[in-house]
Chain A
Amino acid sequence: MIALHATSPLRRRARGFVLPLVLLGLWQFAAYRDAVHQYAFVPLEQVFSALLELARSGELVVDLGASLRRTTLGLATGAIAGIAVGALTALSRSAEKLVHPLFQALRHVPLLGLIPLISLWCGTGEFAKVFIVFLAAFYPMVTSSFDGLRRIDQRYFELAQSYELTRRGWLRDVLIPGALPDVFAGILQAVPFAWITATSSELLFNAGAGVGNLMQTAQAGARVDVLLVCVTGVTVLAVAMGMLCERVAQRLLLWRDHA
C-alpha cells in the first residue's frame, strides 16, 4: 500500500471526480429502470430541459429576481441597522446593558420559527418577507461590529487621545480600520445566510413570487426536476455570493493596509 512514488497531483485531482460521477451514473441507472423510479429519480436530461423550460417561460427570471430583490433589500437594511446597533453597544456601556438582554433573548429563537408569529402580525406580503431577511442579516452584523470595535487594542485609543484626534480622525484612523476585518467576516457570513433565509422563508410564507414559491409549487406537483434546478440554483448563488464578498473584502483590506 505504500507507494514508491508520490501520486501525481493530476491523478489525485482525478480521484475527486470518481465519486460524483459514480453517483450520477447510479442516479441515471435508477431513473431508467422503470416508470415507478422515474417519479423520484428524474433522468438528468429532464432536469436540463426543465431548466430551459423555466428560463424560456420567464418564470425563472421573475422568481429569481423577486428573491434577489428581497435579499438585497433585507441585507442592506439589516446590515446598516446591525452595524449601527453593534457600534452603539460597543462604544457605550449603558447602551450595551440596555440592548443586550433583549438581543440575547431573541437570538436563540430560530428565525424560521418566528415566521408563524410574523405572518400573523404582518401578513404575508413583501414587508414580512423582507423583515425576515432583515433579521437574518441584522443579528450577525450586530455581533461582528460589536466584536470588531471591542477588539480594537486599547493602546490605539490612548495613542489617538495623545494625538488629540478630531472626531472624524478618530473614526477614520482608529475605529473603522480596526473594526473592518470583523465587520467583513460578519458580512461574509450574513450574505449567504440572508439569501438562504429569503428562499427558505418563501417556502413557509407561500405567497407571491420567489424561488421558494417555485419550489413549493414544484413539490406540490411532484416535479423533482424543477426542484433540482432550484436547489442547484440556490446553492450556486449562495456560493457565488460568498466568494464575491470574500474578493471584495480582500481588496478593501488590501487598500486599508496600504493607505
Chain B
Amino acid sequence: MTRRVSWLLWWVSPALLFLLWWYASARHWFAPQLLVPPYKVYDTFRTLAAGGDLQDNLLITLRRLATGFAWGCLSGIVCGTLLAVNRTFSDYVRPLFDILRQVPTLTLIPILILLIGIDEPLKVVVVAKAVFFPVALATYGGVQGVPRDLIEMARHYGLGRAGLLRDVLLPSAIPSLLTGIRIAIARSWLALVAVELLSADSGIGEMMEMARQMLRIDIVMVDVIAIGLIGFTLDQSIALVQRRVLRWQTPNR
C-alpha cells in the first residue's frame, strides 16, 4: 500500500502544476496572451510541426551543433593528449590554454560577431570553443591519471609510443573523456541557443526570438520545451554510453 502511494508521489507535482496552469488560464487570471492555455500550446505545436517550421529550424541548429562539436571534440582530444604526454608542448601551451579556458564563451560572442560576422562560421566557432576546453581538460585528466604501473607494464611488453597511446592511454581516458563530453554538450547547447538568440537568421533560437518580438508566447513555449527535450536527450545518450563503458571497465578494476 505504501509502496504504491510513494510511487504516485513522483507524479504529484507535475500533475499539480499542469492543473494549476490549466485552471489559471481557464479562469483568465492573466491575459490569454500572457498565460497561454495548455491546449493552445499543443495546437501551436501541431501547426508548427505540420508546417515543417519546427523541424527545419531544429535541424539547422542541430547541424551547427554537430559541426562545432566535431571540430571542438577532435582538437580537444588531440590537445589534451599532447598536454599530458609531451612536457615541452605543455610548457609552451599550458599557460595560454589556462588563460583562454577562463574566458566565458558567451562573453566572447559580441567580439566574435565583429570579427567573423554573423553567419554560420560564428555559430560553429562558438560551439567549437565551448566543446574544446572541457574535452581537452577531460582528456588531459584521463591520460594523466593512467596508473604508472600500467604504463610500465606496457613498456615492459615492448609496446612502442604509438601502441602505448592507442592501447593503454586512450582507452583508460575514455571514462573521463565521456564526462568531459557531457559537460561540453551542455555548455555548447547553451551557447548555441544564446548565439542564435543574439544573431538571428535561422535556427531554433532565432525562431524563439522572432516569436518573442511578435509576442507569440505559445511559440516561445513550444521552442523552450523542444530545447529542453533535446538537451535532455543529448545528455542522457552520453549517460547511456557512460554506463555501458562502466560495465565494460568494471571487471578490470
Task: Give residues in A with beta carbon < 8 Å to B.
Answer: 7, 12, 15-20, 23, 40, 93-94, 97-102, 105-106, 108-117, 119-121, 196, 199-200, 203-204, 215-216, 218-219, 222, 224, 227-228, 230-231, 234-235, 238-239
Known contacts A117-B221, A238-B104; A227 and B190 CB within 8 A of each other: no
Known contacts A109-B224, A120-B215; A19 and B93 CB within 8 A of each other: yes
**Closest B residue, CB atoms, query A3:** B88
- List residues of chain A with CB within 8 A of the CB of B215: 120
- List residues of chain A with CB within 8 A of the CB of B252: none
Q: Mark B99-132, 1 if CB is under 8 A from A, else 0.
A: 1001110111111011100000000000000000
Task: Give residues in B with beta carbon < 8 Å to A.
Answer: 6, 9-14, 17, 34, 88, 91-96, 99, 102-104, 106-111, 113-115, 189-190, 193-194, 197-198, 205, 208-209, 211-212, 215, 217, 220-221, 223-224, 227-229, 231-232, 235
Q: Of the candidates A17, A19, A204, A238, which one forms a contact with B194 in the assembled complex, judged by CB atoms under 8 Å apart? A: A204
Could you tell me if A19 and B96 are in contact, using CB atoms closer than 8 angstroms? yes
**Closest A residue, CB atoms, query B11:** A101
Report the tally of A-B residue pairs with Cβ distances under 8 A: 144
- List residues of chain A with CB within 8 A of the CB of B106: 112, 196, 199-200, 203
Known contacts A120-B34, A196-B107; A106 and B228 CB within 8 A of each other: yes
**Closest B residue, CB atoms, query A23:** B96
A15 and B223 alpha carbons, distance in the complex (Å): 48
Q: Of the candidates B9, B96, B110, B220, which one forms a contact with A120 in the assembled complex, judged by CB atoms under 8 Å apart? A: B220
**Closest B residue, CB atoms, query A197:** B106
13 contacts between A and B (CB under 8 A): A19-B93, A109-B228, A110-B194, A112-B106, A112-B197, A120-B220, A200-B107, A215-B107, A215-B110, A216-B110, A219-B110, A222-B114, A224-B114
- List residues of chain B with CB within 8 A of the CB of A7: 91
A113 and B229 alpha carbons, distance in the complex (Å): 12
Q: Of the candidates A40, A116, A231, which one forms a contact with B208 in the assembled complex, judged by CB atoms under 8 Å apart? A: A116
A19 and B88 alpha carbons, distance in the complex (Å): 13
- List residues of chain B with CB within 8 A of the CB of A98: 9, 12-13
**Closest A residue, CB atoms, query B89:** A15
- List residues of chain A with CB within 8 A of the CB of B93: 19
**Closest B residue, CB atoms, query A19:** B96
Main secondary structure of the interface of B (DSSP, over half): helix
- List residues of chain A with CB within 8 A of the CB of B96: 16, 19-20, 23
Could you tell me if B235 and A16 are in contact, using CB atoms closer than 8 angstroms? no
A234 and B103 alpha carbons, distance in the complex (Å): 8
Main secondary structure of the interface of A (DSSP, over half): helix
Among A110, A204, A218, A238, the one with the most B-chain Cβ atoms within 10 Å of its Cβ is A110
Known contacts A200-B104, A234-B107; A120 and B217 CB within 8 A of each other: yes
A224 and B110 alpha carbons, distance in the complex (Å): 9
Could you tell me if A235 and B104 are in contact, using CB atoms closer than 8 angstroms? yes
**Closest A residue, CB atoms, query B94:** A16
**Closest B residue, CB atoms, query A216:** B110
Known contacts A94-B9, A108-B232, A230-B107; A116 and B92 CB within 8 A of each other: no
Could you tell me if A235 and B102 are in contact, using CB atoms closer than 8 angstroms? yes
A194 and B39 alpha carbons, distance in the complex (Å): 35
Known contacts A16-B92, A235-B102; A119 and B212 CB within 8 A of each other: yes
